[in-house]
Amino acid sequence: MEDVYTKITNYFSLNNIQYREIKHAPGATAEEYHNAVGCRYEQQAKCLLVRFKGQEEKYYAIVVIPAQKRLDLESLKTSLNAKELRMANKDELKQVTGCNFDEVPPLAKIFNIKLAMDKDFLNEKEIFMNAGKVDISFVVNPLDIQKLESPV
């Protein structure tokens, strides 16, 4: 089975997306990551997996927000037109994405789920994202993510 890092690099290659790869010390917190890769918090893609219930079925989505922000579950619930919404647990995260915490990229199509992305990222020339590994990140143009993923 293809690991997440390989899925991302293949996805970018297939879609002619330019990116830089950075190898760094693992960063569990936003501050550790910020120090490890040397970016501003506004450029740092914090990716969270949520489980929501639509009219009939349950779905998952990756939600991407800048590192300095907190996720507003009620606003997201409205945006996704969901009846119920909650954060996915560790087991669901691994099952849906193959990732552990701190490894999830701001890409959902590679997992066949939806992506919701904070529009503030579009003010940045580049964002720093997880690459499916805790010690590697990719730097990409957020407009490329928007083009690839068509996020909510």
Chain segment 99-110, per-residue pLDDT in tens: 998 899 999 999
pLDDT tens for 43-95 read 999 999 999 998 788 899 999 999 999 999 998 998 888 899 999 999 999 99
Q: What's the pLDDT score for residue 1? A: 62
Q: What's the pLDDT score for residue 2? A: 81
Q: What is the mean pLDDT of residues 114-123?
A: 96
Q: Which residues of 104-136 are buried (b: 16+ CB within 10 A; e: fewer)?
A: bbbbbebbebbbbbbeebeebebbbbbbbbbeb
Domain count within the chain: 1
CATH number of the domain at 125, please: 3.90.960.10
Cβ(30)–Cβ(137) below 8 Å = no
pTM of the full structure? 0.93
The residue segments making up the domain with residue 11 are 4-149
- The distance in angstroms from the start CA to the end CA of the chain is 29
Tokens 């009846």 map to which residue?
Answer: 83
